[in-house]
Structure 1
Amino acid sequence: MEQQQYVVGLDVGTTSAKAVVFTLDGHVVATGRMGYEWDLAPFGAEIAATVLADAAHGALRRAVDATPPGPILSIGIASIGESGVLLDGSNRPLSPVIAWHDKRDGVELAKLAEEIGIDKFSSVTGLPFRHQWSLTKHRWFSESHPDVRNIGLRLNVAEWIAFSLGAAPATELSLASRTGWFDVINKTWWGETLEWSRMNEDALPELVTAGTCLGSVASGIISPRLAGAAITTAGQDHQSAAVGLGATLVGAEVDSCGTAEALVRTVDPISSRSAILALAQIGVTVGWHALPGKWCLLAGTEGGLILGRALSALGSKDFAADGLDEAARQITAPAIRAFVDDNGLLGFQGVGDDASPAELWRSTIELVTDQVTALHGSMSDIVGDHRELIVTGGWSASGALRDCKRRRLGEFSRPDVTEAGARGAAIFAGMAAGLWPDPISHTLTRSDLQPLSR
């Protein structure tokens, strides 16, 4: 009897690394997870590069140890963006990895505005002008720790994990697009911001697309079963998840309802600097997708945080179990209006003596849906209407939220896909192993995959 074959998707996120082993027809056979904690710094957080690598290796080890017999053909790795690993000439980490949400680079951000210009920066890189991107943190490093100016290699997190397994160094396009060093239209490094941030272009490895085979797992790493498995990077985690959910056609949009609500839309490349600037000015990042030849628009709100605050204020731990959500679905015309004030605090207007918890919950749902609808509409005004909407994430379990989205955004699908980021990474792993030519033609779609409830 022929042995089953497997591909592995690894998703290295903000708080944990998750490895999922799939059969070639998309069934999950094993998983592994390893968490980590960032060290608190005065303006944010940092972590040792070795901690990230150890966690990724540990997650892979747990998943592989639980995998039934059969060859493991390849590994695809997706990760958070913006954070970078700086290596010396002997490929040893020179400094901690700064978290994408760290804000120690306030002085550098002001200098960037003065010396490069806000509109110029955004129109070339496709990035909104804010704390987050690699270049200002690298400028901070170069001035606080002058030794990092002599780095031998700079890798994004997914690329670092791939390198630690035996892959050749490379920079994947969707991760390059989130550094602030990349000219998205010309698809090349932007010398002006490289020079501004004291980054040596020679330290940035070859640009590649997700799914490119970068080598194979070296013997003696993690498990003998992984030796020789092809390695690839699978891009930024949101984009890998979009691929895992099947949002691969132009105009497909994922509405990920997690702690932060994220909109991820697949588009054709944009040739207009003014359109790129207009998107960046409303908080939308514009850059190359993990999908070959496509671009990605990515933006978010704090919808999940707001919903969580409302539940906490209402004393509810489970909106489904206590009937709160179903009661909110029955309200036809909410009289209460929820809002967020200038300090980020949630408040309500029109609350009478007879106001029910369901009315407050429903008004909060209307608020967060208003926010994401405005963002969605602004994107469409610039690049055209979406063609398909996929809703996912923990908060999409709320029937009241789904009802509200359907009224504002139209029909959508809600596939039963868990760990979509790892699934997307496994799809790119199949490309690296030569199993399919692109991330659309794969066989990693279970025949028993059914949509969740409306």
Structure 2
Amino acid sequence: MHLGIDLGTSAVKVCVLGPDGEVKATASAALTVSHPFEGASEQDCAAWWTATRRAVQEIDAALRGQVRAIGLSGQMHGAVLLDADRRPVRPVILWNDARATVECADILAAEPEAGEIAGAPPMPGFTAPKLLWLSRHEPESHARIAHVLLPKDYLGMRLHGRLVTDPSDAAGTSWYDERARRWSDRLCAVSATDPGWLPEVRHGTEAAGALLPGPAEELGLPAGIAVAAGGGDAAAGAVGIGAVSGGDGFISLGTSGQLFVTTPAYRPNLASRIHAYAHTVPGHWFQMAAMLNGARPIAWLAELFGRPIGALLAEAEAAPPGPLFLPYLTGERTPHGDTEIRAGFAGLGETTSQGSLMRSVVEAVAFTFADAVDALSAAGDMPDTLLAIGGGTRSDFLLQTIADVTGCRIGRTDGADIGPALGAARMAMVASGDASQSDAMTKPPVTRRFDPRRGEAERLKARLAAYRALYPALKSVQAAIGAR
């Protein structure tokens, strides 16, 4: 058995793979996010460990006793800051935090080639700008830093006691030289970062260490088993779906959204706001359109109405087209690179129902993927068929709408909603020596395909054009009132 642990924003998800590579068990434990001020997004890393314990302990004890290795996946970009005793300096600043806008501009002014080196221009959610912000706004916290980790690597430290990351998570920091695959002293220098704070980088399929007796007892796992370095959630999702060769692509529908294509070489394209990052597996990179709002607006609206997501989605599918929705609850990366823009409905009327509002939200999520397809097409090759992972894949309506809007065939597989955890478990198989990379990282069979429907595609084309017009219109309003 091999255990995959995925540290998401809203939950820790775990899965156990059997010797045949089939999923034997899954579990999850919820997490919450705090917003201490507008634009801020933080979590307590102690809560990550508590949720990991809860999720793993939900797995049958007999299965846990047979686990031969652990793999890790996690939300990217978060700044986990530890002091010399490896205690957290402050709460973790997350990937969707927008406080470091000025610092991004300052990094780029100090090093105009920062985007070319790091695979994407500095953005507030990345780790390096957060460190520069801390040096200016929380100098006492900055002065205490002895180690910087990414979220999944904090769990790794708790498991095996070492400070290790992988190339894909390193790539998302804005400190990593993507072409050379090493930390960049120059990018550290312009972001108030000591290179000595940064962890060792190992491929995701390599063992980062062995499970220590204490955490083994807490989790009910055998002590001494290998813990694979793992990958950032996007790269781990790619491993889970077998996107580990040039041209393989997929979409991810979690709290955030991604359109991901594996490449055999480093291909930065700054004009399209595409992230060009090192893959967690050796010898490959990827291009990724990154959307901050993924399937999150669907959950947000359901929470706002206090209703189950499934019931609202059923009403949405039956509802006629209604208002337009701009889904930028926390700003946006691809294609706008705009941390200030916020969400909004346009075209509300007396007959607008909760179902029609949810239909507008589903369409808006699909429209963000249309923008992503255009950006990625401008940056390189774009597959015409994409597999889908993430919690949003539970909705046939959402996947069909994405297919209609983008013109891409979308495929769903078994276990699509646990993609990164599945990828983490596959990396554990390789790290333990129980499978080769080629044997472990196969593409799962597609259980449902969603083909573009010509009639719906034509109808949605006009709404997509109106949606794209809504962004600059709302941006001018947002500039007048200020981000809230």
TM exceeds 0.5? yes
Report deviation, 1:22: 2.0
Instruction: Please name the residue that 1:74 is paired with.
Output: 69
Q: Does 1:239 align with 2:225?
A: no
Distance (Å, rounded) in 1 between the aligned partners of 2:316 and 2:37: 40
Distance (Å, rounded) in 1 between the aligned partners of 2:234 and 2:53: 21
Q: Does 1:298 align with 2:297?
A: no
Deviations 1:349-385 (A, max 9, x none): 9x8x999998877666555434312321221222123
Distance (Å, rounded) in 2 between the aligned partners of 1:165 and 1:313: 37
Q: Name structure 2 gaps, 5 residues minimum.
A: 328-340, 451-484
Q: Is the Cα contact below 8 Å between 1:266 and 1:296 reproduced in 2?
A: yes
Distance (Å, rounded) in 2 between the aligned partners of 1:306 and 1:388: 25
Q: Look up the equivalent residue of 1:73 and give its one-letter code.
A: R
Q: CA RMSD in A?
A: 3.5
SS at match of 2:235: helix
Q: Cα gap change, 1:132/1:309 in structure 2, threshold over 3 Å: closer, same or farther?
A: closer
Q: Look up the equivalent residue of 2:324 and give its one-letter code.
A: A
Q: How does 1:376-415 map to 2 (within 5 A)?
A: 376-386=373-383, 388-407=385-404, 408-415=406-413
Instruction: Please name the residue that 1:3 is paired with.
Output: none
Deviations 1:321-359 (A, max 9, x none): 88646646xx9xx7x77353975312249x8x9999988
Report deviation, 1:76: 0.4
Q: Does 1:13 align with 2:4?
A: no
Q: Look up the equivalent residue of 1:232 and give its one-letter code.
A: A
Q: Does 1:33 align with 2:33?
A: no
Q: Does 1:162 align with 2:156?
A: yes
Distance (Å, rounded) in 2 between the aligned partners of 1:374 and 1:445: 26
* Count of residues in Structure 1 that have an aligned counterpart in Structure 2: 430
Q: Is the Cα contact below 8 Å between 1:72 and 1:226 reproduced in 2?
A: yes
Distance (Å, rounded) in 2 between the aligned partners of 1:153 and 1:435: 33
Distance (Å, rounded) in 1 between the aligned partners of 2:352 and 2:147: 60
SS at match of 2:447: coil
> Greater helix share, 1 or 2?
2
Q: How does 1:52-201 map to 2 (within 5 A)?
A: 52-63=48-59, 66-68=61-63, 71-117=66-112, 120-143=113-136, 144-146=138-140, 148-149=142-143, 151-201=145-195
Distance (Å, rounded) in 1 between the aligned partners of 2:36 and 2:30: 19
Deviations 1:152-191 (A, max 9, x none): 3322222221121125322210011011111212222222
Instruction: Please name the residue that 1:278 is paired with.
Output: 271
Task: Percent identity, please.
Answer: 25
Corresponding residue to 2:45 among 49, 66, 73: 49
Q: Does 1:340 align with 2:326?
A: yes
SS at match of 1:264: strand
Deviations 1:116-147 (A, max 9, x none): 34xx2222211244211111211233342346
Q: Is the Cα contact below 8 Å between 1:247 and 1:390 reproduced in 2?
A: no
Distance (Å, rounded) in 2 between the aligned partners of 1:444 and 1:291: 14
Q: Cα gap change, 1:71/1:373 in structure 2, threshold over 3 Å: closer, same or farther?
A: same
Instruction: Please name the residue that 2:428 is paired with.
Output: 429
Report deviation, 1:293: 1.7
What TM-score results when the alignment is normalised by the length of structure 2?
0.77
Q: Is the Cα contact below 8 Å between 1:325 and 1:398 reproduced in 2?
A: no
Corresponding residue to 1:441 among 439, 442, 449: 439
Q: Does 1:265 align with 2:255?
A: no
SS at match of 1:373: helix
Corresponding residue to 1:369 among 360, 366, 370: 366
Distance (Å, rounded) in 2 between the aligned partners of 1:306 and 1:228: 42
What TM-score results when the alignment is normalised by the length of structure 1?
0.81
Distance (Å, rounded) in 2 between the aligned partners of 1:221 and 1:316: 38
Q: Look up the equivalent residue of 2:208 and give its one-letter code.
A: L
Q: Is the Cα contact below 8 Å between 1:122 and 1:277 reproduced in 2?
A: yes
Distance (Å, rounded) in 2 between the aligned partners of 1:303 and 1:91: 33
SS at match of 1:262: strand
Q: Look up the equivalent residue of 1:214 and give its one-letter code.
A: A
Q: Is the Cα contact below 8 Å between 2:251 and 2:389 reproduced in 1?
A: yes
Distance (Å, rounded) in 1 between the aligned partners of 2:310 and 2:35: 33
Q: Cα gap change, 1:199/1:21 in structure 2, threshold over 3 Å: closer, same or farther?
A: same
Q: Is the Cα contact below 8 Å between 2:272 and 2:379 reproduced in 1?
A: yes
